[in-house]
Every structure is written in C-alpha cells, then in structure tokens.
Amino acid sequence: MTASCEPRVIIHVDMDAFFASIEQRNNPDLKGKPVIVGGPLGSRGVVSTCSYEARSYGVHSAMPIAQAVRLCPDGIFLTVDPSAYSFAAKQIKAIFLRFAPAVQMISVDEAFIDITGSLRHYGSPREVALEIKRTIYREIGITCSVGIGPNKLIAKLGSGLEKPDGLAIIFGEAIENRLYPLPVGRLWGVGPVTEKYLTSKGINTIGDLARLDARQLRRDLGVKGVYLAARSRGVDDSIVLDDNSQPDEKSISHEYTFDCDTFDLTQMNAMLLALTEKVVVRMQKGEWLAGTVALRVRFSDFKTITRQKAVREPTDDLRAIFRTVRGLLPTKDVVSQGVRLVGVRVSHIVHRHLEDQSELFDCPISSKYRNLGDTIKQLRDKYGDAIITRVGTRIVRE
C-alpha cells in the first residue's frame, strides 16, 4: 500500500469551559454568572473548570479553591458531576464520527478529527468546522472552539486563538503570521521547566524559537531541542489515532486530597492502600493487568513529584502493586514537609487473556492470594464494591 500525497486537513475541537458550560446548560439561572467547578467551598481541592465570567476575576484551572474564593468571592462553586460530563462527551464524540471516521479524543472535552477524506462530501474545511460547531450547539447546547491546519500541532494551537466560540484556519503563510507571536509556553511539548529555561535565554515566543539554529538547540536541550526546533516551525507528522489504531497502553488512577496536610506515615500508607484497592477493583472489572506502577505526591508547598516503576510481569495483585507503591514513597519528605495530595496510577496495561498463562514456577502462596482476589471480585460483582473492605484501609474511613 502506498502512502497518499494528498495534503492533510486536521481539525482540533475544544469545548469552551466544558464542565462549567454543562452546568450552565443544565441550570439556565447560572448563565452569565461566575461558575467554578471543582471542590465545594472550604475544601482543599482545586478548580477543574470555570466559566469565562469567573476567568475575568483571574480564576483558572488547577487553582486551589481557597485562592479562587479570594479572587471571586461571589462565585458559584459546584462539585464535579462526572456522569453528566461523561454522557455529554459520548454525545459529542458521536457527532464527530458523523463527519469522519478518524476521531481521536485526547481528553473528555477535546479531540482531533482528520477530515482529509471527508471534504468531497462536506465542502471546504471552514464549512465542515462551522457545521460541527452548529451541530454541537444545537444538540448539546454548548459552544466549542475549532482550529484547522495541516497537522495536529497547528490545529491545536489554532483552537486556542479565538476562544470562546472561535474558529481559526491556519495554512501556508498564516503559520508564521499567527503562531510565531505566541508565547513559547503555548507550544506543544514546552512544559513549565523548559519554558523557564527558554525565557531565561531571551526566547519568549514561538518565533524566537523557530529562528534559532537547530544545532544550538540540540547542544542546549539535547534530543528535545531537535524536537522543539521542528515543532516551532509547525512540523508534526503524527497521525490522528482512531479507536482502531489507538495504542494498547492505558492507565487507571485514583487520587485523594487530604483535608489537612498530613505528616503521618501510618495515615499515608492507609490512604495508599485504599487508593491502590480502588485501582485494582477497576482493573479486575476490566480484566486488566498492569506493567507499570506510579505514585504521585503533592507536598504542602504544592511541589509535586511522580515516581514510577515497572513490575516484573503484568499483574492485578493488590499486594504486589501496593508493595511497589509503598516502595516509591519518599518517607523522609512526608515527615518533614507534609503531604496535601497523593495518587496511585497503573499503566502499560494488557488484557488478562493476553497474559493468562501458567507461570513456569508456580507458587502455592501466589495461588492462594490469587484465589482470594478472585473471591473478593466475585463478592463485589454480586453485592457491590462496599461489601468488603480491607482492615488496613479503615484508618482513612474513620
């Protein structure tokens, strides 16, 4: 099969203030008001999404609720409603699939769509984008912003240029005209640490980065410098991955924010066990086995670390996963700094049937705990997740 030389046309669709927009749609009295979705008042959570009315006060995603209250005391604070957002996201994806088969959801509220092969049916890229926007507003009741370009990178940058309810088409000379003036931190792949380094060198915009010699970037940043040099010039060869071409790697995670910073290792280990159990329950329901285990810790000063470790072979065994998680915990830092948030994640997941083979050296103890896990799973399937809890997690429930 030979590759097509037909120029690609990629759309990136980003819902405008998705969670807050769904809340305003469901309750018209909230329209035009500063809606802040995250933790309730007095909680130690963070802002998930806020309406554009709240953003005018300086509120933004990932901001601590307490800070959002200070900036916007008249804000309407709502807790997250996952079922409502998930249902809307499924409806939105179904709309995307009417326009093209290659739809890659990269989060609950944004997606890439490759419309290259659909233009002969729907007309120009602008008409396709406008029809997607009209359909979402008509059927879902919220607005979205769309970027259109020759690749995913440019399409994603474009969708953020004219929010909310925006539409940006970027091809040819428009790539330099519209993207080069943007702050370098807007470039896909430039995180806070890299942004700080680049701005310290006087590289403040994407254009500044694009005008640098690629060899200099390689000397300064290694392989990442070569990658960023290409990206700053709008180069991106990645394809839109639909459901049939998505990689097998998935992840499952749970996090918890403590009401008060904890310095207590016993409480930390109990919470880690509770989070690990939640992850394992989801794994077992989906018949997943994990190849990598990760721990996320946010300290009282908001410094956040993530540590991960590959397990010897894919597993859904609670004891093995918890033992790995606990081994990743920086105990001295917990006692000295205090912990605000902790999370457990598993990744590099495969289906059980792909790994369901007898071990070369099977162990009676391993078999005993596997049988216990199967029994617990059967009880939960029949009577619900709360039917049985492990004694080590009681401390976090009292």
Active site residues: 110
Query: Which amino acid would we find at residue 222?
Result: G
Q: What is the 3-state secondary structure (H, E, C) of 238-274?
A: CCCCCCCCCCCCCEEEEEEEEEEEECCHHHHHHHHHH
- Closest CA relative to residue 369, chosen from 315, 325, 327, 324: 315
How is residue 200 written in tokens? Answer: 């310290």
Q: What are phi and psi of 85, to 5 degrees?
A: -70, -40
Cα 11 to Cα 110, 118, 125, 342: the distances in Å are 11, 12, 8, 36
Q: CA-CA-CA-CA torsion for 265, 320, 256, 20, nearest 10 degrees?
A: 160
Q: Quote the CA–CA distance of 305 and 236 in Å, as a whole number.
A: 29
Report whether 349 contacts 252 (CB < 8 A): yes
- Continuous H helices in the chain: 18-26, 52-55, 65-71, 82-99, 119-122, 125-139, 152-159, 174, 192-200, 206-210, 214-221, 223-232, 265-286, 318-328, 331-337, 352-355, 364-383
Report whether 13 contacts 135 (CB < 8 A): no
- Closest CA relative to residue 318, chosen from 289, 348, 355: 289
- Closest CA relative to residue 350, chosen from 278, 293, 287: 287
Q: What are phi and psi of 89, to 5 degrees?
A: -65, -40
Report whether 38 contacts 72 (CB < 8 A): no
